[in-house]
Structure 1
């Protein structure tokens, strides 16, 4: 690193230390580069604070509490209590643990030119031109120059039109850890993954009456109806009150409560009283005040930055040294995608690309009760694209490991091509350990494996993954337990272009 009075020069400048930015900076070290990592707020970004790690830590704690509160397994925990302040401290402890791991690596590579050099700079970065950013932090201003730039500024909670948040009673996911206690009553506005996850968390602790506002007639609107119904049913069984086909007209604030007016598509209205309203209607990219006009970049209508396949920004001024990765690229708001894109950008800069991204088969985890995992296509996507398929639904009620765990609430659903190749196209799974075996199916999809090839594998017994084996067998009429004997637990169907849309599970 060469330093003048107020100017620094680097090989690569990374703006944002979230999963995409930190992965990019770490990959750059593999090439022995001189790297600057600029972070405005918290090291680790939303991947650590007010995002993935903190929300999933809270989820795990809520699931532990939920299991401890069960009384149907031959034992009972007495005197079970929960304190929100202590839960919050545990969540923050997890975040600090990961941040110190990141700091340890940064310190290891600070002023170590023989290893590659990594410098952490705090402040808000703004482009002055294609080779320079201005970094402001309180009363200090630095000029940082780079041969290449990687923008990894992530995303933030999307605002609800005409509704102001105060961080106390009308909040977003950024404010969850600012709560001082469990709300007695909470309204969650938005029934996508984020809304359903927080509905699961707060209903698990049994300290909060949770209302979930579902503008469409089903939660998780991008998934198939069967999965949406499954998730909704489990939320309701967990105590969540779902308001289907309703929109929020207004929130009236009173000293001791919030009064919410809901308008339903059927024409009637309802007034409910809550203590906290959580806005969870998605996220939007952080592209504000980055000086994008100086580099000839204009976000698209959704706010994402236009990029090539390898993350290089499309600039009207012809610059080819600036990349965008993660949530601002518009591919998917997933931690794994951000990491992949951050690494890919550095590899493209160095001309050392290992493999290009395939966004069609991304694995996704949904932290509900029970957990849900997804990879590849669903029925809705295949029908839209006109691709014929066969589908199987296999309930965990027939899986020995799930029976032994006394936890049979779940299933495996697999889609294969309806042709001679019988390629695996997608899977949805719910129940214990669903997150553990979804990656194996992702590999099968990426490799273009067929059902016949998969059935050559010995699955361990007893394991939850045996549900996959039996699903595959059912697709070719070879399953041990037959659909005709268990019509509620095993269903096989098919769809071809020209057929009416169909769903196989209720």
Structure 2
């Protein structure tokens, strides 16, 4: 029976970052992965969806006719788009495999990595079985990091057939652009997929929004900005609509929607895609064998990244990423994985402050956020002020011929205002959201921001004017 200093269950952003950080401390590490190397962060999540988004944005720019040039014969081949997306994912996977091989047990004298293909299940707190296609192997370790990620949430009463009624994991299995598509769910994932397919202009896109606006957790002006851009891009949004049923016919799907106002509507589509969030992958881990019970949401309770059992830490078993119950972001998973490895190595680390996370939403144009919004501040009864500035007034945006955007900064209502949050929509919003996150994290006043010399012309110059 092979023994390791650390077994990492799952090779997504949380698991792989934990393994690579543990390698820095000279540990002997085994990574167990049941599906794709890199997890959903590579093959069915962040990398593939963003690759497809970038391709769709390139196509949308090429299709424009207001910049002094016009494409004579612009066309798009869905099969080639998917091949390009898969090639990007495999490029990253082979980078990871190269790292694993470079630090294999046979080659590395200080710290090592190995990869086991199969599904892990705890036998006891120090032992797991790994069940692959052909055999089951038993492994032991001094420490574990559980990083099994999440899978698409199922819609109640709706069967996913993975052909015409699909989830986000099935996007790469489509054979062609659907002529008509219904996206069920108007959160970030649903709006991103709606953006991608409406950019290519090959699909009539319907978006089911159960609330009266998309991204309902955001401030109304931000939600309205996203909603208007989707509609301007050709997306048909069904606000305050609920899915009653989908009837299957040989050549189409018949969708019946019920609206809050009391009326109903029947639409015809070719593909329905469910995008109502993701749920943790914990049900097959054998958690009961180590005395751990998942929460109602399927997540694992943690404290300082250690798994909790009966209110007490199991200080050699850690959980990181989507299964931890915190925000399901690639960056959060990586952070948690690294910090778990540092705690295993007894290296001083720092607690994560989840209130200052920056988020990118890949719409047209992109949207970036960090810190609190007005809704959250009103709920917390925190006095604040808001400054709003349009990209129509920013020289760089004018030069780019892309003035559809804004920056919204929320500050505390005190003599030396502190930045509490920011929302930015428009080109390159992702470029300056990190600097604002840093300023929030440092507790700097708005006055400190105004002291900075911003290069001209740049979109970041907007900070000088808000």
Fold agreement, TM-score > 0.5: yes
Q: Which residue of structure 2 lines up, in the alignment, with residue 448 of structure 1?
A: 443
| Residues in 2 aligned to 1:82 and 1:379: alpha-carbon distance in whole angstroms | 41
CA contact 2:306–2:314 (8 Å) conserved in 1: no
Query: For the structure 1 residues 318 and 406, does the alpha-carbon distance in structure 2 shift closer, same or farther, using more than 3 Å as the test?
Result: closer
Contact conserved, 1:189 with 1:280, CA < 8 A, in 2? yes
Matched, 1:66 2:60: yes
Q: Which residue of the partner structure matches residue 180 of structure 1? A: 175
Is structure 2 residue 21 aligned with structure 1 residue 27?
yes
CA distance in 1, matches of 2:219, 2:347: 39
Corresponding residue to 1:136 among 131, 137, 152:
131
Say whether 1:371 aligns with 2:370.
Answer: no
Matches of 1:368 and 1:284, distance apart in 2? 23
Question: Are positions 1:41 and 2:35 aligned together?
Answer: yes
Partner of 1:322: 317
Of 117, 120, 130, which aligns to 1:122? 117
Return 5+ residue gaps in structure 2 as ranges: none
Q: Does 1:212 align with 2:207?
A: yes
**141-150 vs 296-305, which moves further:** 296-305
Contact preservation (8 Å) 1:22, 1:44: yes
Unaligned runs of 5+ in 1: 1-6, 472-506
Q: CA deviation at 1:113?
A: 4.1
Choose the corresponding residue for 1:79, options 73, 80, 91. Answer: 73
Query: Aligned equivalents of 1:34 and 1:234: distance in 2?
Result: 50
Would the alpha carbon gap of residues 318 and 458 (structure 1) be closer, same or farther in structure 2, given more than 3 Å must change? closer
Say if 1:32 and 1:113, in contact at 8 Å, map to a contact too: no
CA distance in 2, matches of 1:74, 1:132: 66
After alignment, is 369-378 or 293-302 more displaced? 293-302
Aligned-partner Cα distance in 1 for 2:34–2:216 = 34
C-alpha distance after superposition, 1:285-334 (max 9, x if no partner): 111110000111111122110000x2100013863211110000011100
Cα deviation, 1:88-110, whole Å, max 9, x if unaligned, reads 00000000000010001000000
Kept after mapping to 2: 8 A contact 1:344/1:353:
no
* Contact 2:384–2:412 (Cα < 8 Å) also in 1: yes
How many residues in Structure 1 have an aligned counterpart in Structure 2?
Answer: 464
Describe the superposition over 1:104-159 as per-residue Cα deviations: whole angstroms up to 9, x where unpaired. 10000001442311010010000000000000001211101000100000000000
Instruction: Find the counterpart in structure 2 of residue 359 from structure 1.
Output: 354
Aligned partners of 1:18 and 1:223: how far apart in 2? 28
Asked whether the equivalents of residues 223 and 378 of structure 1 are also in contact (C-alpha less than 8 Å), the reply is: yes
Q: TM-score, normalised by structure 2?
A: 0.99
After TM superposition, the structure 1 = structure 2 runs for residues 381-400 of structure 1, keeping only pairs within 5 Å, are 381-400=376-395
SS of residue matched to 2:308: coil
Question: What is the aligned partner in structure 2 of residue 498 from structure 1?
Answer: none
Contact 1:34 1:113 in 2 (8 A): no
RMSD of Structure 2 on Structure 1 (CA): 0.9
Is 1:313 aligned to residue 307 of structure 2?
A: yes
Match of residue 55 from structure 1: 49
